[in-house]
Amino acid sequence: MLRRTIAAFAGTLVVVGLIAGAGAATVAAGSPPGALSIVSASLTQDGQQLVWNVLTADPFTPSSLAAAGQSLCLVIAQVKPVVPEGVLCVGHRGTRSHPMLYYRQIAAAGVVGRAHRIAATVTRRNDDELTASFLPASIGAAYRSLRWEVLSTAPAADCRAGAGCSYEMPGRPALARLHTPTLVGCVASGPSLVHGGSPKVHDIALTFDDGPWGDPPTMDFIRLLAREHVPASFFEIGDQISQYDPTGSVERAMLANGDMIGDHTWTHPDMAALPPAKQRSELELTVDAIRHATGFTPCLWRPPYGDISPELISLARSLGLLTIMWDIDPRDWSLPGVKEIIDNVTTNAQDGGIVEEHFGGGPRYETLDALPTEIAHLSARGYKFVTVAQMLGLRMIYR
Protein backbone atom coordinates (compact mmCIF):
# COMPACT_ATOMS: atom_id res chain seq x y z
CA MET A 1 0.00 0.00 0.00
CA LEU A 2 2.70 2.46 0.99
CA ARG A 3 4.91 1.55 -1.95
CA ARG A 4 2.09 1.86 -4.46
CA THR A 5 1.01 5.21 -3.07
CA ILE A 6 4.54 6.61 -3.14
CA ALA A 7 5.17 5.28 -6.64
CA ALA A 8 2.37 7.50 -7.88
CA PHE A 9 4.43 10.51 -6.81
CA ALA A 10 7.88 9.22 -7.81
CA GLY A 11 8.45 12.24 -10.02
CA THR A 12 7.98 14.61 -7.10
CA LEU A 13 10.26 12.64 -4.79
CA VAL A 14 13.40 13.30 -6.77
CA VAL A 15 13.91 16.56 -4.92
CA VAL A 16 17.68 16.42 -4.71
CA GLY A 17 18.32 17.77 -8.18
CA LEU A 18 15.74 20.52 -7.74
CA ILE A 19 17.20 21.62 -4.42
CA ALA A 20 20.78 21.49 -5.63
CA GLY A 21 20.03 23.39 -8.81
CA ALA A 22 21.70 20.56 -10.72
CA GLY A 23 19.62 20.69 -13.87
CA ALA A 24 22.73 21.03 -16.02
CA ALA A 25 24.59 18.19 -14.30
CA THR A 26 25.37 15.03 -16.23
CA VAL A 27 25.80 11.47 -15.05
CA ALA A 28 29.44 10.47 -14.72
CA ALA A 29 30.72 7.95 -17.26
CA GLY A 30 30.21 4.40 -16.10
CA SER A 31 27.58 5.29 -13.51
CA PRO A 32 25.10 2.43 -13.15
CA PRO A 33 21.54 3.23 -14.20
CA GLY A 34 18.57 2.79 -11.91
CA ALA A 35 17.94 3.42 -8.25
CA LEU A 36 20.62 3.29 -5.58
CA SER A 37 20.49 -0.14 -3.90
CA ILE A 38 19.92 -0.13 -0.13
CA VAL A 39 21.66 -2.74 2.01
CA SER A 40 20.10 -1.86 5.37
CA ALA A 41 18.07 0.87 7.00
CA SER A 42 16.63 1.74 10.40
CA LEU A 43 14.62 4.42 12.16
CA THR A 44 14.96 4.53 15.94
CA GLN A 45 14.43 6.94 18.83
CA ASP A 46 17.34 8.21 20.92
CA GLY A 47 16.06 10.53 23.64
CA GLN A 48 14.28 13.39 21.90
CA GLN A 49 15.79 12.59 18.51
CA LEU A 50 14.74 10.30 15.69
CA VAL A 51 17.78 8.60 14.17
CA TRP A 52 17.69 7.50 10.54
CA ASN A 53 20.50 5.22 9.39
CA VAL A 54 20.94 3.91 5.87
CA LEU A 55 23.65 1.78 4.23
CA THR A 56 23.81 1.55 0.43
CA ALA A 57 25.47 -0.93 -1.92
CA ASP A 58 27.55 1.79 -3.59
CA PRO A 59 29.14 5.05 -2.44
CA PHE A 60 27.14 8.23 -2.97
CA THR A 61 27.22 11.94 -2.29
CA PRO A 62 24.35 14.41 -2.45
CA SER A 63 25.86 15.88 -5.63
CA SER A 64 26.24 12.45 -7.27
CA LEU A 65 22.58 11.69 -6.52
CA ALA A 66 21.58 15.00 -8.06
CA ALA A 67 23.76 14.44 -11.13
CA ALA A 68 22.21 11.00 -11.70
CA GLY A 69 18.67 12.23 -11.07
CA GLN A 70 18.35 9.80 -8.18
CA SER A 71 16.80 10.29 -4.76
CA LEU A 72 17.32 8.74 -1.34
CA CYS A 73 14.35 9.34 0.93
CA LEU A 74 12.67 8.28 4.16
CA VAL A 75 8.90 7.90 3.78
CA ILE A 76 6.83 8.54 6.94
CA ALA A 77 3.33 7.06 7.17
CA GLN A 78 0.45 6.56 9.56
CA VAL A 79 0.31 3.24 11.36
CA LYS A 80 -3.23 2.36 10.32
CA PRO A 81 -4.26 2.79 7.61
CA VAL A 82 -0.74 2.91 6.17
CA VAL A 83 -1.02 6.24 4.38
CA PRO A 84 2.08 8.35 3.61
CA GLU A 85 2.31 11.64 5.52
CA GLY A 86 5.62 12.97 4.27
CA VAL A 87 8.94 12.31 2.58
CA LEU A 88 12.37 13.25 3.97
CA CYS A 89 15.10 13.28 1.33
CA VAL A 90 18.86 13.71 1.20
CA GLY A 91 19.93 16.84 -0.62
CA HIS A 92 22.37 19.73 -0.67
CA ARG A 93 22.32 23.39 -1.61
CA GLY A 94 24.37 25.00 -4.37
CA THR A 95 27.95 23.78 -4.47
CA ARG A 96 27.88 22.47 -0.88
CA SER A 97 28.27 18.70 -0.81
CA HIS A 98 27.54 18.09 2.89
CA PRO A 99 24.23 16.24 3.15
CA MET A 100 21.15 18.14 4.28
CA LEU A 101 17.62 16.88 4.81
CA TYR A 102 14.58 18.29 3.02
CA TYR A 103 11.01 17.41 3.93
CA ARG A 104 7.85 17.36 1.84
CA GLN A 105 4.44 16.85 3.38
CA ILE A 106 1.93 14.61 1.62
CA ALA A 107 -1.63 15.79 2.08
CA ALA A 108 -4.61 13.47 2.41
CA ALA A 109 -5.47 13.98 -1.25
CA GLY A 110 -1.97 12.87 -2.25
CA VAL A 111 -0.70 16.38 -2.93
CA VAL A 112 3.02 16.67 -2.22
CA GLY A 113 4.04 20.02 -0.73
CA ARG A 114 7.12 22.13 -1.27
CA ALA A 115 10.46 20.87 0.02
CA HIS A 116 11.94 22.71 3.01
CA ARG A 117 15.17 22.08 4.84
CA ILE A 118 14.86 20.77 8.39
CA ALA A 119 17.27 21.10 11.31
CA ALA A 120 19.20 17.84 11.48
CA THR A 121 22.60 16.48 12.41
CA VAL A 122 23.95 14.42 9.52
CA THR A 123 27.10 12.32 9.89
CA ARG A 124 28.90 9.88 7.61
CA ARG A 125 31.47 7.30 8.61
CA ASN A 126 31.83 6.05 5.04
CA ASP A 127 30.67 7.12 1.58
CA ASP A 128 28.06 4.34 1.51
CA GLU A 129 26.48 5.19 4.89
CA LEU A 130 24.49 8.08 6.34
CA THR A 131 23.10 8.76 9.82
CA ALA A 132 20.73 11.66 10.45
CA SER A 133 19.23 12.82 13.76
CA PHE A 134 16.27 15.20 13.98
CA LEU A 135 13.33 16.09 16.19
CA PRO A 136 9.91 14.67 15.25
CA ALA A 137 8.50 18.21 15.38
CA SER A 138 10.76 19.18 12.47
CA ILE A 139 8.65 16.96 10.21
CA GLY A 140 5.37 17.81 11.91
CA ALA A 141 5.25 14.56 13.88
CA ALA A 142 4.57 13.86 17.54
CA TYR A 143 6.00 11.17 19.78
CA ARG A 144 3.66 8.48 18.52
CA SER A 145 4.16 5.26 16.64
CA LEU A 146 4.60 5.56 12.88
CA ARG A 147 5.47 3.48 9.85
CA TRP A 148 8.50 4.13 7.69
CA GLU A 149 10.30 2.90 4.62
CA VAL A 150 13.45 4.06 2.86
CA LEU A 151 12.92 4.69 -0.83
CA SER A 152 15.53 5.17 -3.54
CA THR A 153 14.27 6.30 -6.95
CA ALA A 154 15.72 6.58 -10.44
CA PRO A 155 14.94 9.01 -13.30
CA ALA A 156 12.02 8.21 -15.55
CA ALA A 157 14.38 7.70 -18.50
CA ASP A 158 16.10 4.85 -16.68
CA CYS A 159 12.75 3.26 -15.92
CA ARG A 160 11.86 3.27 -19.60
CA ALA A 161 15.18 1.63 -20.34
CA GLY A 162 14.26 -1.26 -18.08
CA ALA A 163 16.39 -0.29 -15.10
CA GLY A 164 14.99 -0.32 -11.58
CA CYS A 165 12.64 2.60 -10.95
CA SER A 166 12.84 2.32 -7.19
CA TYR A 167 14.38 0.36 -4.36
CA GLU A 168 12.65 -0.02 -1.00
CA MET A 169 13.96 -1.08 2.40
CA PRO A 170 12.43 -2.93 4.19
CA GLY A 171 10.12 -4.80 1.85
CA ARG A 172 7.10 -3.79 3.95
CA PRO A 173 6.68 -0.55 5.94
CA ALA A 174 8.31 -1.01 9.34
CA LEU A 175 6.85 0.10 12.67
CA ALA A 176 8.72 2.60 14.84
CA ARG A 177 7.32 2.74 18.37
CA LEU A 178 7.99 6.22 19.74
CA HIS A 179 7.39 7.48 23.27
CA THR A 180 7.44 10.91 24.85
CA PRO A 181 10.96 11.16 26.31
CA THR A 182 11.45 12.00 29.98
CA LEU A 183 14.60 13.91 30.95
CA VAL A 184 16.27 12.12 33.87
CA GLY A 185 19.75 13.62 33.95
CA CYS A 186 22.70 15.24 32.23
CA VAL A 187 26.39 14.41 31.97
CA ALA A 188 29.02 16.83 33.29
CA SER A 189 31.81 17.29 30.74
CA GLY A 190 34.41 19.87 29.87
CA PRO A 191 35.88 22.37 32.35
CA SER A 192 34.77 22.01 35.97
CA LEU A 193 34.47 25.80 36.40
CA VAL A 194 32.42 27.82 33.90
CA HIS A 195 31.99 31.60 33.70
CA GLY A 196 30.47 31.74 30.22
CA GLY A 197 30.10 30.03 26.89
CA SER A 198 31.98 30.41 23.63
CA PRO A 199 32.59 34.04 22.59
CA LYS A 200 32.27 32.82 19.00
CA VAL A 201 28.63 31.74 19.33
CA HIS A 202 25.83 34.32 19.34
CA ASP A 203 23.84 32.80 22.19
CA ILE A 204 23.04 33.81 25.75
CA ALA A 205 21.79 31.96 28.84
CA LEU A 206 19.28 33.37 31.32
CA THR A 207 19.76 31.86 34.78
CA PHE A 208 17.82 32.35 38.02
CA ASP A 209 18.88 31.62 41.60
CA ASP A 210 17.35 31.11 45.06
CA GLY A 211 14.04 29.40 44.29
CA PRO A 212 11.57 27.87 44.24
CA TRP A 213 9.69 30.78 45.79
CA GLY A 214 6.26 32.27 46.22
CA ASP A 215 6.74 36.02 45.81
CA PRO A 216 5.95 35.98 42.89
CA PRO A 217 5.20 32.28 42.43
CA THR A 218 7.82 30.42 40.46
CA MET A 219 5.15 29.37 37.94
CA ASP A 220 4.89 33.02 36.87
CA PHE A 221 8.49 32.85 35.63
CA ILE A 222 7.91 29.50 33.94
CA ARG A 223 4.76 30.65 32.13
CA LEU A 224 6.35 33.91 30.96
CA LEU A 225 9.40 32.10 29.56
CA ALA A 226 7.17 29.52 27.89
CA ARG A 227 5.11 32.26 26.21
CA GLU A 228 8.32 33.83 24.92
CA HIS A 229 9.71 30.42 23.84
CA VAL A 230 12.84 31.10 25.88
CA PRO A 231 14.54 28.33 27.88
CA ALA A 232 16.29 29.20 31.14
CA SER A 233 18.30 27.57 33.92
CA PHE A 234 16.98 27.58 37.51
CA PHE A 235 19.39 27.01 40.42
CA GLU A 236 17.40 25.82 43.42
CA ILE A 237 17.84 25.84 47.18
CA GLY A 238 17.01 22.32 48.30
CA ASP A 239 15.46 23.22 51.65
CA GLN A 240 12.82 25.37 49.89
CA ILE A 241 11.53 22.68 47.53
CA SER A 242 9.26 20.99 50.08
CA GLN A 243 7.68 24.33 51.01
CA TYR A 244 7.17 25.94 47.61
CA ASP A 245 6.86 22.88 45.38
CA PRO A 246 5.78 19.97 47.59
CA THR A 247 4.41 17.89 44.70
CA GLY A 248 7.20 18.68 42.26
CA SER A 249 4.70 19.99 39.69
CA VAL A 250 6.47 23.34 39.32
CA GLU A 251 9.85 21.79 38.64
CA ARG A 252 8.38 19.21 36.27
CA ALA A 253 6.83 22.12 34.36
CA MET A 254 10.31 23.63 34.06
CA LEU A 255 11.68 20.47 32.49
CA ALA A 256 8.62 20.04 30.25
CA ASN A 257 9.19 23.56 28.88
CA GLY A 258 12.84 22.83 28.08
CA ASP A 259 14.31 24.62 31.11
CA MET A 260 17.24 23.27 33.13
CA ILE A 261 17.42 22.75 36.90
CA GLY A 262 20.64 23.15 38.88
CA ASP A 263 21.79 22.75 42.48
CA HIS A 264 22.15 25.93 44.60
CA THR A 265 22.91 24.08 47.88
CA TRP A 266 20.57 23.06 50.68
CA THR A 267 20.62 26.25 52.82
CA HIS A 268 22.51 28.84 50.73
CA PRO A 269 25.64 29.08 52.90
CA ASP A 270 29.09 30.44 52.07
CA MET A 271 30.28 27.07 50.81
CA ALA A 272 33.98 27.94 50.71
CA ALA A 273 33.91 28.54 54.49
CA LEU A 274 32.45 25.09 55.30
CA PRO A 275 34.36 21.89 56.04
CA PRO A 276 34.36 19.32 53.21
CA ALA A 277 31.79 17.04 54.88
CA LYS A 278 29.31 19.90 55.19
CA GLN A 279 29.96 21.02 51.62
CA ARG A 280 29.21 17.51 50.39
CA SER A 281 26.01 17.37 52.45
CA GLU A 282 24.77 20.72 51.08
CA LEU A 283 25.21 19.51 47.52
CA GLU A 284 23.97 15.94 47.94
CA LEU A 285 20.84 16.86 49.89
CA THR A 286 19.79 19.26 47.13
CA VAL A 287 20.50 16.75 44.35
CA ASP A 288 18.34 14.23 46.22
CA ALA A 289 15.52 16.75 46.70
CA ILE A 290 15.48 17.67 43.01
CA ARG A 291 15.58 14.01 42.00
CA HIS A 292 12.75 13.13 44.41
CA ALA A 293 10.58 15.98 43.08
CA THR A 294 11.19 15.45 39.37
CA GLY A 295 13.07 12.22 38.63
CA PHE A 296 15.83 14.44 37.21
CA THR A 297 19.42 14.36 38.51
CA PRO A 298 21.20 17.71 37.93
CA CYS A 299 24.77 18.06 36.67
CA LEU A 300 25.14 21.81 37.33
CA TRP A 301 25.51 23.76 40.55
CA ARG A 302 26.02 27.40 41.42
CA PRO A 303 27.84 28.55 44.58
CA PRO A 304 25.94 31.06 46.75
CA TYR A 305 27.59 34.50 46.64
CA GLY A 306 29.97 33.13 44.02
CA ASP A 307 32.35 31.95 46.76
CA ILE A 308 34.48 29.01 45.61
CA SER A 309 37.80 27.28 46.16
CA PRO A 310 39.75 24.77 44.06
CA GLU A 311 38.90 22.05 46.58
CA LEU A 312 35.19 22.86 46.41
CA ILE A 313 35.19 22.79 42.62
CA SER A 314 36.90 19.38 42.69
CA LEU A 315 34.41 18.05 45.24
CA ALA A 316 31.47 19.17 43.13
CA ARG A 317 32.97 17.55 40.04
CA SER A 318 33.42 14.28 41.92
CA LEU A 319 29.65 14.42 42.55
CA GLY A 320 28.97 14.92 38.83
CA LEU A 321 28.40 18.70 39.09
CA LEU A 322 29.95 21.50 37.05
CA THR A 323 30.44 24.79 38.91
CA ILE A 324 28.50 27.47 37.01
CA MET A 325 29.34 31.15 37.57
CA TRP A 326 28.18 34.12 35.45
CA ASP A 327 29.50 37.12 33.57
CA ILE A 328 26.41 39.37 33.44
CA ASP A 329 25.06 40.51 36.82
CA PRO A 330 22.19 43.05 36.96
CA ARG A 331 22.20 42.84 40.78
CA ASP A 332 18.44 42.39 40.72
CA TRP A 333 18.59 41.05 44.30
CA SER A 334 19.15 44.65 45.45
CA LEU A 335 15.83 45.75 43.86
CA PRO A 336 17.40 48.50 41.72
CA GLY A 337 14.24 48.97 39.61
CA VAL A 338 12.96 47.37 36.41
CA LYS A 339 14.70 49.84 34.08
CA GLU A 340 18.06 49.40 35.81
CA ILE A 341 17.81 45.60 35.48
CA ILE A 342 16.93 45.85 31.79
CA ASP A 343 19.69 48.36 31.04
CA ASN A 344 22.30 46.29 32.86
CA VAL A 345 21.44 43.07 31.05
CA THR A 346 21.13 44.58 27.58
CA THR A 347 24.24 46.75 27.92
CA ASN A 348 26.46 43.93 29.14
CA ALA A 349 25.08 41.18 26.89
CA GLN A 350 27.77 39.35 24.95
CA ASP A 351 28.23 36.18 22.93
CA GLY A 352 28.26 33.17 25.23
CA GLY A 353 27.07 35.29 28.15
CA ILE A 354 25.47 33.89 31.30
CA VAL A 355 23.01 36.26 33.01
CA GLU A 356 22.56 35.78 36.76
CA GLU A 357 19.18 36.87 38.11
CA HIS A 358 16.91 35.65 40.91
CA PHE A 359 13.50 33.98 41.23
CA GLY A 360 13.61 33.66 45.01
CA GLY A 361 15.15 34.97 48.20
CA GLY A 362 12.94 38.06 48.26
CA PRO A 363 10.21 39.79 46.24
CA ARG A 364 11.26 39.28 42.61
CA TYR A 365 8.55 41.23 40.80
CA GLU A 366 11.13 43.62 39.33
CA THR A 367 13.02 40.71 37.79
CA LEU A 368 9.81 39.21 36.43
CA ASP A 369 8.64 42.55 35.02
CA ALA A 370 12.00 43.18 33.37
CA LEU A 371 12.09 39.86 31.54
CA PRO A 372 9.80 40.61 28.55
CA THR A 373 11.78 43.71 27.61
CA GLU A 374 15.12 41.98 28.18
CA ILE A 375 14.04 39.16 25.89
CA ALA A 376 12.68 41.52 23.22
CA HIS A 377 15.89 43.60 23.13
CA LEU A 378 18.19 40.59 23.01
CA SER A 379 16.05 38.84 20.40
CA ALA A 380 16.15 41.96 18.22
CA ARG A 381 19.94 41.77 18.37
CA GLY A 382 19.87 38.20 17.12
CA TYR A 383 20.75 36.36 20.32
CA LYS A 384 19.69 32.74 20.64
CA PHE A 385 18.47 31.86 24.15
CA VAL A 386 19.84 28.57 25.51
CA THR A 387 20.12 26.75 28.80
CA VAL A 388 23.56 26.48 30.37
CA ALA A 389 23.58 22.78 29.49
CA GLN A 390 22.88 23.62 25.84
CA MET A 391 25.53 26.33 25.85
CA LEU A 392 28.11 23.83 27.09
CA GLY A 393 26.95 21.06 24.74
CA LEU A 394 26.24 18.64 27.58
CA ARG A 395 24.66 15.29 26.86
CA MET A 396 21.13 14.87 28.19
CA ILE A 397 19.90 11.51 29.52
CA TYR A 398 16.33 10.47 28.67
CA ARG A 399 14.22 7.44 29.32
Tell me which residues are annotated as active site. Answer: 209, 358
Provide DSSP, 47-114.
TTEEEEEEEESS---HHHHHHHT-EEEEEEE-SSS--EEEEEEEE--TT--S-EEEEEEB-TTS-B--
Cα–Cα distance, 147 to 125 (Å, whole number):
26
Bridge partner list, 146: 176
Cα–Cα distance, 329 to 226 (Å, whole number):
23
b/e string for 119-142 if b means 16 or more Cβ within 10 A?
Answer: ebebeeeeeebbbbbbebebbebe
- Whole-number Cα distances in Å, 135 to 120, 139, 180, 307, 308: 8, 8, 12, 39, 38
